[in-house]
């Protein structure tokens, strides 16, 4: 029947006083019932431990408010189930839908489907419940007010009505029932001898009301509060406010304790003087307690390094250490990454949403595939996922990827259906390396397409019947069947994934139960997935038990209360991080909060939060801040940092600027030690076996990097494969058949040749509908070949038959060249025809007496004779396809090669050995195909409608002029290139000042030079 309020500064023995009270109550009556209310798990565990140390806690129940609400209700014979987070979320969603359907939602109608809106409503309803605001009072208050407020009141009222219909209660609503029970039965808690309320920094109106009624029924109640009764310091302002509220509602007897605070020197000094307007003494420190790091990521590492040092050197258990920060969302992943590297367990107060679990993300990605029309990349990712078994082997999925690339499947099942047909009928011999203009490898040459297609059918069947709408329960049933057919649950192997599956079950149950509450309603597949995503967002992922063992606690600054640790690090003391920037709540504005008794959102007492946080440390304290922002600008310190800094002299602050002079003994992981060792050019702990091998590897890496950073490329790390010379000489021996484009690739950059031709690496580009450059080249070549061959046979003007020939080729082009026409194909056809017309007109205008006599003349392919060159290093065999051969009335020959691009077709390109195709074709026409004496040749630039400046007849170099000189230069280059290839000389040296974009190494080559223009 007595309520005492024990108010005193931090660490002065309030909890010890409570434990003494418990011991005294139990001494008087060994069966005394004692209830201890604490704010969080950590405080509960610590209270339990201290009680045990003091002699035992038989008959003492330690729990949170909601445990005792439940106790009160059970005492009164009421068993009201508490709604789960997922079901609460679903119920809010259904409430919004219902209110919208009834036409009562206008202001919020535009955001009625947003997941964020449901979360905001959930928080707002919880706040209203905690402030004991009844739906009727809220409706009354908002009548005649803004639509925003009134609609919120309607939603609140309907949500609570739904809960009532369900016969369940939300966690914040439990207190209402407990209060009602205490009011209706004054003997409910009369068996309780002592109630201890320890570790809280504030109480909601509902909690104060509950405590008042409980205090009236129990024999004794003691509430502790950290602060000073008459203090004017900023750090105690919140305690003053709470004191007034408790005084007004509970009229407690105010007491205090006069013990000195049991804190380490630095935080004891801060406890006395920080933000104290009165004169302060400075305290000299020999050890830093404040640390400035360059970034938030380094700050997280430094804090964990500090904790690991205390753990290793001073044997402080990890579960006696904590880190608090105002911005946990930012620091959580940074701390997790550093802790993984340092081998530390962390336990976060804030759990990750279920929807971020890899297993659940995979399920969501799979389920959204039909809604997005099966985008190829996402589809292939799903097929590769280790969480599903689709009846496809790894090789099958790789073959499916090849099918996509070959048939350019961008999205949709219809494209897959068309692709199978197209690939079955494809007529072009892809395997033929015609020239670089037209080369498309046949990726599916050795794939059993029919069998693969049949195996993929099983995947399509999964989504075969999603068209018809059905109830949520039926959709959930469908999903469960789908997951079990894909062995999803059988493939789960980690504790984290198992926890995710159990939370998934909770979310699915919420969907089914919510339907029972609001009535069955059929929804389509898209709506089901939206509802499922929403339910998954509302459920958090359980932390695996293993991760919780002997772990450092990580929480938000506002959660720093009640519990105490031996070591505490406070992160993020820079401007804008802490104190946090306060913004008004757009849903529950400040006036409404004031009128209805809700906590304000502005002018929260953040100095009190700071005080609570740094006084959580018994002996070791570290306050950190980043001093550079992401863009490298200086980041100003927080005013609280400045206030703490002003209290100390000596070595209080350390600024981490680089690791170069850092003692290696401070490294927190082998990686870090090695990294510092490399920076400092010496590893102090090199005698450890584990480090020796890694240090050796790093020394090798260092040599490689040095070689790659050298001005000139040379040596074994720079493409010099002389050790492989014998196998290369064998591979590229006299029997090898060369194409002009391969030799030109070597001329452009030896490493390009090595990557592309020796290693067979290719660039994998994102799939896009329409033609790729090789297909455009093939299309143009085919039309020009048919136009000239038919005009020759029928003695017609090539220009006259261009349209009809082009129409025929266009018609069969998608199938013949294996591409998917884009939506612009019709427009594209007329543009390409126009280009061809102009080109043909120009080609005809320059033809003079030349008559085309042969087209697509192969040499060295399909049984045709090779061009064989007898060079200084031995015999070289070449193959290729000559686009066109003309003859003049004298029986002389010229060769023409069509090009869609127009760059690098000049005389200097042959002089430098970058373009060898034309002279090779000239020699082939004359010597291999015996078509006659070749006197000229040129490239025809189709898009530019003109011949190249490189012409065989007018070639000249420093050694002379004419076609024979062109041949000689070409042979010299071929001889040189082949010899170097056989020697294994592949140094990355682009002959042009820039690297071609088609170079497969351009993504990672350390000698890459940007600036290439595709033409
Ligand atoms: S990126 Fe440039 S230097 Fe590197 S291999 Fe390709 S062309 Fe050669």
| 3-state DSSP assignment of residue 278 | coil
Q: Residue 1002: CB within 6 Å of ligand 1?
A: yes
Q: Is 213 helix (H, G, I), strand (E, B) or coil?
A: helix
Kindly give the distance from the C-alpha atom of residue 718 to the centroid of ligand 1, in angstroms, as a whole number: 12
Structure tokens at 565: 């640790």
* Residue from 713, 990, 991, 1012 to probe ligand 1 pocket by mutation (most atoms less than 8 Å from CB): 990
Please list, residue by residue across 424-451, b when 16 or more beta carbons sit within 10 angstroms of its beta carbon and e when fewer do: eebebebebbbbbbbbbebbbeebeeee
Q: Counting Cβ atoms within 10 Å, is residue 589 exposed (0-12), middle (13-18) or buried (19+)?
A: middle
d(CA 875, ligand 1 centre) in Å:
29
**Residues across the chain:** 1015
- Whether omega for the bond prior to residue 79 falls within 30 degrees of 0, making it cis, is no
H helical segments located in 710-797: 725-731, 740-748, 750-753, 773-794
Residue 582 CA to chain centroid, in angstroms? 29
Asked if residue 713 has its Cβ within 6 Å of ligand 1, the reply is no
How far is 21 from 741, CA to CA, in rounded Å? 92
Q: What percent of the chain has pLDDT over 70?
A: 97
Task: Report whether pLDDT(434) > 80.
Answer: no
CA–CA distance from 190 to each of 62, 178, 980 (Å)? 18, 14, 98
Please give the structure tokens belonging to residue 654: 């350390």
DSSP E strands, 199-314:
220-226, 253-255, 283-285, 290-293
Supply the pLDDT for residue 279.
66
- Whole-angstrom Cα distance, residue 544 to residue 523? 35
pLDDT in tens, 907-944: 999 999 999 999 999 999 999 999 999 999 999 999 99
**HSE toward the beta carbon, residue 600, CA cutoff 13 A:** 11
Q: What percent of the chain has pLDDT over 90?
A: 67
Instruction: Say if residue 33's pLDDT is above 70.
Output: yes
CB-side exposure of 460: number of CA atoms within 13 Å? Answer: 12
Which of 754, 773, 757 has its CA nearest to residue 765? 773
CA–CA distance, 604 with 556 (Å, rounded to integer): 15
* 410 confidence band (pLDDT: 50, 70, 90): confident
Distance, in Å, from the CA atom of 806 to the CA atom of 798, rounded to the nearest integer, reads 11
Out of 427-436, 487-496, 589-598, pick the least confident.
Answer: 427-436
Contact 263, 595 (CB under 8 A): no
CA of 917 to the centre of ligand 1 (A): 21
Among 753, 1007, 1010, 1011, name the best residue to mutate to test ligand 1's pocket (greatest count of ligand atoms within 8 A of Cβ).
1007
Q: Which long-range contacts (CB under 8 A, 24 or more apart) does 707-711 make?
A: 708/1006, 708/1007, 709/1006
φ, ψ at 430 (rounded to 5°):
-65, -30
993 pLDDT band, cuts 50/70/90, is confident
Q: Whose CA is nearest to atom 7 of ligand 1?
A: 995
String of DSSP letters for 447-496: --HHHHHHHHHHHHHHTTT-SS-B-HHHHHHHHHHHHHHTTHHHH--SHH
| 234 Cβ contact list (under 8 Å, min separation 6) | 275, 605, 607, 608
Q: Residue 430: its pLDDT value, please? A: 42
955 Cα–ligand 1 center, Å: 29
pLDDT at 1012 over 70: no
Residue 519 pLDDT more than 80? no
Task: Assess whether the C-beta atom of 664 lies below 6 angstroms from ligand 1.
Answer: no
Dihedrals φ, ψ of 76, to 5°? -95, 10
Q: How far is the CA of 770 from the centre of ligand 1 (A)?
A: 28
DSSP state of 574: B
Residue 353: pLDDT band by 50, 70, 90 thresholds?
A: confident
Give the per-residue pLDDT at 1015: 45
Gyration radius (Cα) of the chain, Å: 40
Cβ–ligand 1 distance for 987 under 6 Å, the answer: no
Whether 751 contacts 1001, CB under 8 Å:
yes
pLDDT digits (tens, 9 = 90+) for 805-816: 999 999 888 877
Atom of ligand 1 nearest to the CA of 1005: 4
Beta strands 874-887 and 893-899, pairing class: antiparallel
**If 0-12 CB within 10 Å is exposed, 13-18 middle and 19+ buried, where does residue 933 land?**
exposed
708 lines ligand 1 (CB under 6 A): no
Cα first-last separation, the chain: 91
Whether 248 shows a pLDDT value over 90: the answer reads yes
Tell me, in angstroms, the distance from the centre of ligand 1 to residue 994's CA.
Answer: 9
CA of 1007 to the centre of ligand 1 (A): 6
Output the CA 290–ligand 1 centroid distance in Å.
Answer: 49
Closest CA to 348 of 356, 357, 339, 358: 339
Q: For the residues 360-386, what does the mean pLDDT come to?
A: 94
Q: How far does the centroid of ligand 1 lie from the alpha carbon of residue 1000, in Å?
A: 8
Pocket test for ligand 1, best of 904, 995, 1006 (most atoms within 8 A of CB): 995
Beta strand 934-941 pairing with 893-899: parallel
Determine the Cα–Cα distance for residues 327 and 218; give it in Å rounded to an integer: 40
Instruction: Report the separation in Å between the CA atom of 865 and the middle of ligand 1, taken as the mean of its atom positions.
Output: 34
Phi, psi of 543 (to 5 degrees): -80, 135
Whether residue 856 is predicted with pLDDT greater than 60 in this model: the reply is yes
Which residues is 253 bridged to in the sheet? 4
**d(Cα 211, Cα 65) in Å, to the nearest integer?**
10
DSSP string, 72-106: HHHHTT---PBPPHHHHHHHHHHHHHHHHHTT--S
507 CB under 6 A from ligand 1? Answer: no
Task: For residue range 964-987, list pLDDT tens digits in order.
Answer: 999 999 999 999 999 999 999 999
Ligand 1 centre to CA of 904 (Å) is 17
Q: Are 934 and 963 in contact (CB under 8 A)?
A: yes
Pocket flag, ligand 1, residue 745 (CB < 6 Å) = no
Mutate to test the pocket of ligand 1, among 745, 752, 759, 761 (most ligand atoms within 8 A of CB): 752
Q: Is the pLDDT at 154 greater than 90, yes or no?
A: yes
pLDDT in tens, 864-902: 999 999 998 889 999 999 999 999 999 999 999 999 887
Residue 485 near residue 465, CB atoms below 8 Å? no
Q: Indicate which atom in ligand 1 lies nearest the CA of residue 752.
A: 5
999 Cβ inside 6 Å of ligand 1:
yes
User: How far, in Å, are 263, 266, 455 from residue 391 at the CA level?
Assistant: 63, 64, 7
Q: What is the pLDDT of residues 622-656, one digit of tens each?
A: 999 999 998 889 999 999 999 999 999 888 999 99
pLDDT tens string 561-583? 999 999 999 999 999 999 998 88
Averaged over 812-824, what is the pLDDT? 79
3-state secondary structure 931-1000: CCCEEEEEEEECCCCEEEEEECCCCEECCEECHHHHHHHHHHHHHHHHHHHHHCECCCCCCCCCCCCCCH
Share the mean pLDDT of the chain: 90
Q: What are 133's two structure tokens?
A: 């605001």
Q: Is residue 483 lining ligand 1, measured as CB closer than 6 Å? A: no
Rounded to the nearest whole angstrom, what is the distance from the C-alpha of residue 719 to the centroid of ligand 1?
11
Task: Name the nearest CA neighbour of 766 among 337, 408, 398.
Answer: 408
Regarding the beta carbon of 112 and ligand 1, being less than 6 Å apart is answered no
In the reported structure, the alpha carbon of residue 973 is separated from the centroid of ligand 1 by a whole-number distance in angstroms of: 20
User: Taking Cα atoms as reference points, which of 335, 353, 357 lies closest to residue 556?
Assistant: 335
Q: Tell whether ligand 1 has an atom less than 6 A from the beta carbon of residue 403.
A: no
Q: What number does the ligand 1 atom closest to the CA of 750 have?
A: 8
Task: Identify the burial level of 13 via C-beta atoms within 10 angstroms of its C-beta, where 0-12 means exposed, 13-18 middle and 19 or more buried.
Answer: middle
Residue 950: half-sphere exposure toward Cβ, Cα within 13 Å: 27
Alpha carbon of 762 to ligand 1 centroid (Å): 13
Ligand 1 neighbourhood includes 508 CB (under 6 angstroms): no
Alpha carbon distance 447, 452 (integer Å)? 8
Nearest residue to 89 (alpha-carbon basis) of 498, 428, 537, 521 = 537
DSSP label at residue 126 = H
CA–CA gap between residue 384 and residue 378 (Å, rounded):
10
């Amino acid at each position: 029947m007595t309520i005492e309020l024990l108010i005193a500064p931090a660490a002065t023995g309030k909890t010890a006083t409570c434990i003494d009270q418990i011991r005294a109550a139990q001494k008087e009556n060994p069966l005394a019932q004692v209830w201890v209310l604490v704010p969080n798990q950590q405080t509960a565990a610590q209270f339990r431990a201290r009680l045990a140390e003091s002699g035992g806690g038989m008959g003492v129940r330690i729990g949170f408010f909601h445990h005792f609400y439940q106790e009160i209700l059970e005492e009164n014979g009421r068993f009201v189930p508490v709604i789960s987070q997922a079901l609460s979320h679903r119920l809010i969603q259904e409430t919004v839908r219902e209110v919208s359907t009834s036409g009562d939602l206008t202001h919020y109608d535009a955001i009625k489907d947003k997941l964020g809106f449901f979360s905001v409503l959930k928080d707002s309803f919880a706040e209203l419940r905690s402030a004991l605001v009844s739906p009727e009072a809220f409706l009354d208050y908002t009548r005649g007010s803004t639509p925003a407020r009134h609609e919120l009141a309607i939603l609140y009222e309907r949500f609570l009505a739904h809960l009532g219909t369900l016969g369940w209660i939300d966690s914040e609503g439990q207190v209402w029932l407990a209060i009602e029970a205490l009011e209706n039965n004054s003997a409910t808690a009369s068996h309780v001898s002592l109630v201890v309320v320890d570790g809280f920094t504030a109480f909601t109106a509902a909690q104060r009301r509950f405590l008042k009624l409980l205090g009236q029924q129990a024999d004794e109640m003691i509430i502790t509060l950290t602060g000073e009764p008459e203090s004017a310091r900023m750090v105690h302002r919140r305690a003053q406010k709470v004191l007034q509220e408790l005084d007004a509602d509970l009229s407690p007897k105010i007491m205090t304790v006069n013990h000195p605070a049991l804190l380490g020197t630095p935080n004891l000094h801060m406890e006395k003087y920080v933000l104290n307007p009165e004169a302060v003494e400075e305290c000299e420190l020999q050890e830093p307690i404040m640390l400035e790091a360059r970034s938030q990521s380094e700050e997280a590492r430094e804090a964990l390094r500090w904790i690991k040092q205390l753990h290793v050197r001073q044997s402080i258990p990890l579960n006696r250490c904590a880190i608090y920060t105002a911005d946990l969302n930012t620091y959580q992943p940074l701390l997790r990454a550093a802790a993984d590297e340092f081998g530390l367990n962390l336990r976060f107060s804030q759990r990750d949403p279920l929807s971020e679990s890899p297993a659940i993300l995979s399920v969501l990605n799979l389920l959204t595939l039909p809604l997005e029309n099966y985008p190829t990349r996402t589809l292939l990712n799903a097929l590769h996922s280790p969480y599903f078994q689709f009846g496809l082997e790894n090789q099958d999925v790789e073959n499916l990827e090849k099918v996509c690339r070959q048939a350019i499947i961008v999205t949709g099942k219809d494209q897959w259906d068309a692709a199978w047909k197209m690939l079955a009928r494809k007529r072009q011999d892809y395997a033929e390396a015609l020239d670089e203009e037209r080369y498309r490898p046949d990726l599916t040459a050795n794939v059993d397409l029919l069998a693969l297609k049949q195996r993929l059918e099983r995947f399509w069947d999964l989504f075969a019947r999603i068209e018809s709408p059905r109830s949520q329960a039926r959709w959930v049933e469908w999903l469960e069947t789908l997951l079990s057919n894909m062995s999803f649950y059988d493939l789960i192997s980690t504790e984290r994934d198992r926890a995710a599956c159990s939370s998934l079950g909770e979310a699915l149950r919420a969907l089914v139960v919510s339907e029972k509450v609001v009535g069955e309603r059929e929804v389509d597949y898209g709506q089901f997935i939206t509802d499922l995503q929403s339910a998954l967002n509302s459920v958090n992922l359980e932390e695996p038990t293993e991760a919780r063992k002997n772990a450092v606690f990580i929480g938000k600054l506002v959660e720093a209360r009640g519990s105490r640790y031996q070591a505490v690090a406070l992160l993020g003391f820079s401007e804008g991080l802490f104190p946090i920037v306060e913004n008004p709540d757009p849903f529950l504005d400040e006036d409404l909060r004031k009128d209805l008794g809700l906590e304000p959102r502005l002018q929260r007492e953040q100095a009190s939060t700071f005080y609570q946080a740094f006084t959580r440390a018994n002996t070791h304290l570290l306050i950190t801040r980043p001093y550079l922002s992401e863009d490298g600008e200086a980041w100003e310190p927080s005013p609280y940092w400045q206030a703490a800094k002003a209290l100390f002299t000596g070595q209080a602050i350390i600024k981490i600027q680089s690791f170069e002079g850092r003692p290696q003994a401070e490294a927190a992981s082998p990686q870090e030690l090695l990294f510092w060792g490399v920076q400092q050019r010496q590893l102090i702990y090199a005698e450890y076996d584990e480090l020796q091998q890694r240090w050796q590897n790093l020394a090798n890496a260092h040599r490689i990097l040095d070689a790659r950073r050298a001005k000139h490329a040379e040596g074994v790390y720079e493409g010099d494969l002389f050790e492989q010379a014998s196998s290369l000489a064998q591979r590229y021996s006299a029997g090898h058949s060369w194409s002009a484009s391969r030799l030109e690739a070597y001329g452009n950059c030896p490493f390009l040749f090595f990557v592309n031709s020796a290693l067979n690496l290719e660039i994998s580009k994102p799939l896009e509908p329409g033609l790729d450059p090789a297909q455009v080249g093939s299309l143009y070549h085919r039309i020009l070949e048919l136009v000239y061959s038919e005009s020759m046979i029928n003695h017609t003007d090539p220009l006259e038959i261009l349209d009809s020939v082009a129409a025929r080729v266009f018609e069969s082009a998608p199938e013949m060249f294996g591409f998917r026409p884009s939506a612009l194909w019709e427009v594209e056809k007329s543009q390409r025809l126009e280009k061809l017309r102009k080109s043909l007109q120009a080609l005809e205008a320059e033809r003079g007496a030349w008559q085309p006599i042969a087209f697509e003349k192969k040499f060295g392919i399909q049984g045709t004779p090779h061009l064989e060159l007898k060079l200084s290093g031995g015999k070289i065999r070449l193959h290729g396809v000559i686009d066109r051969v003309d003859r003049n009335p004298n029986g002389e020959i010229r060769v023409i090669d069509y090009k869609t691009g127009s760059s690098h077709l000049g005389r200097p390109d042959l002089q430098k050995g970058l373009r060898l195709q034309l002279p090779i074709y000239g020699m082939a026409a004359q010597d291999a195909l015996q078509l006659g004496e070749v006197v000229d040749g040129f490239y025809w630039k189709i898009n530019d409608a003109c011949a190249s400046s490189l012409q065989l007849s007018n070639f000249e170099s420093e050694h002379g002029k004419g076609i024979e000189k062109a041949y000689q230069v070409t042979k010299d280059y071929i001889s040189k290139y082949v010899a170097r290839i056989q020697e294994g000389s592949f140094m990355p040296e682009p002959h042009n000042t820039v690297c071609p974009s088609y170079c497969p190494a351009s993504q990672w080559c350390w000698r890459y030079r940007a600036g290439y223009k595709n033409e």
